Structure 1
């Protein structure tokens, strides 16, 4: 999609629905946000179902929809696209809240992006370093390494699980704060991303 600039130097009205503005997030930002949320929730659902009930019809079904490695790779790709889109819209996004609350929100969002980048990256490094191929829903994206590569495996062995639980905690806090803004503060913070 291209964005047309009229002779007046103003972006066409139809294009503003797709791009961010000072008042709300555009369709692309909202779609990327909710796609990320769905992928991460599915990822945790699959992991928790396997840990809680082991191999059964439900866990095999969930795993067929969202194999752990494939979901991780998708989360990494969507996060990279989100970062690029955020950078393109950096001068026209809704402003952060002033004061301490705004600074905390900015730090939490930065932590989200870092976790959504590093968690799948560490896991993919570990998978490749352990001699397995990188696959996306059955398609080989990177052939298997021929040997065990310890430096690729070590970061994920050390950090993947604790950082995953940190991400889960941040998600719960993020959802709670969105609901607090909507029902207690009665502001439009949730509406800006909900559409």
Structure 2
């Protein structure tokens, strides 16, 4: 009996010494992003990755069975439209959670992080929105995975076409560069600085 009681006491002591693993809630908190913010973040990451994968595959290999398959999975215009909608939802959800989201770190690093996030949102809004505007200005049909949202028309509205023709390419590569930098900094925080910045998006409340 004495040995059993001692084992039970030791087990209870171990349990009390370890932090409890609590589940992530739907809403954000000052220490972690909630389930909805995480889902929107990773959905955005998947859409952007697929968009650039299709683009780079076409540029590198031209038209073949692989690029045609990728284009059928992620048509450029359809992915752009989805990115626009997801970004608008993300902005709305960020506004709802604005008083309880994890704060940016203080100092220059925090200000740079805030600037990068603002630039991300601006590009994710501008690129698809002006591409749609260009398509409309050219009179082209607007389609979402084969579903026609607006039929073709005979028109040529220069002010709708010119800004996107001028800036869509350079700003797309700026977005690509920011994505690469974002991933690199997340790895720096995780493996070099060893802080909990990455855990806000992928860890548990006790992580």
Q: Same fold (TM over 0.5)?
A: yes
Partner of 1:49: 57
Note the residue ranges of structure 2 that are not aligned, 5 or more in a row: 1-21
What does 1:87-166 correspond to in 2, within 5 Å? 87-166=95-174
RMSD over aligned Cα atoms: 1.4
Q: Which consecutive aligned stretches of 4+ in structure 1 deviate over 3 angstroms post-superposition?
A: none
1:167 aligns with 2:160: no
The worse-fitting range, judged by mean Cα deviation, of 169-178 and 133-142 is 133-142
CA distance in 1, matches of 2:29, 2:121: 21
The worse-fitting range, judged by mean Cα deviation, of 168-177 and 122-131 is 122-131
CA distance in 2, matches of 1:112, 1:145: 33
Provide TM-score, normalisation by structure 2: 0.85
Partner of 1:182: 190
**How far apart are 1:144 and its partner, in Å?**
2.6
Provide TM-score, normalisation by structure 1: 0.91
Task: Point out which structure has higher relative CO (alpha carbons under 8 A, 6+ apart).
Answer: 2
Aligned length: 182
- Structure ID, larger Rg: 2
**How far apart are 1:131 and its partner, in Å?**
1.2
